[in-house]
Amino acid sequence: MNIEEIRDYCLSKKAVEETLPFGPDVLVFKIMGKVFLLCRLNAIPLQLNVKCDPEKAIALRERYPCVQPGYHMNKKHWNTIVLDGIPNQEMLNGWISDSYDLVVSKLPRILQKERSQRV
């Protein structure tokens, strides 16, 4: 999966915005102002940070060498995924969706309602 496919998948989700708040090398996707994915564009191979349930984060790290504690993030809640060919598109989409859903579930009800009304 390349950056364009990741970008398209993230933007296909409801109320997502993409930003570059840390400069041109870190692409950030947010839902209602809350980050759910960061991508270091200058990393080779490409790397993503996604939010994850703490227990699931540990299990994924133990099972997949491409899943590591979140780089420059709270390592309890974030994983870095190195796109070295091991995670297939379906797995990666699932991890991105899990991150999105986790962030949405933590939003205040008013923001969840506003998100549901967006196109």
Q: Average pLDDT, stretch 73-83? A: 94
Q: Is 63 helix (H, G, I), strand (E, B) or coil?
A: helix
Q: Return the C-alpha torsion angle 19, 22, 28, 30, nearest 10.
A: -70
| CATH code of domain 3-117 | 3.90.1150.30
Tokens representing 95 are 């991890």
Identity of the residue numbered 43? A
Confidence of residue 86 (pLDDT cuts 50, 70, 90): confident
**Which residues on neighbouring strands pair with residue 49, listed in sequence order?**
38, 80
Domain boundary assignment for the chain: 3-117
Q: Average pLDDT, stretch 49-73? A: 95
Query: What is the overall mean pLDDT for the chain?
Result: 93
pTM (two decimals): 0.91
- Whole-number pLDDT of residue 37: 98
Q: Which of 60, 95, 55 is nearest to 77 (CA)?
A: 55
Residue that the structure tokens 């996604």 belong to? 50
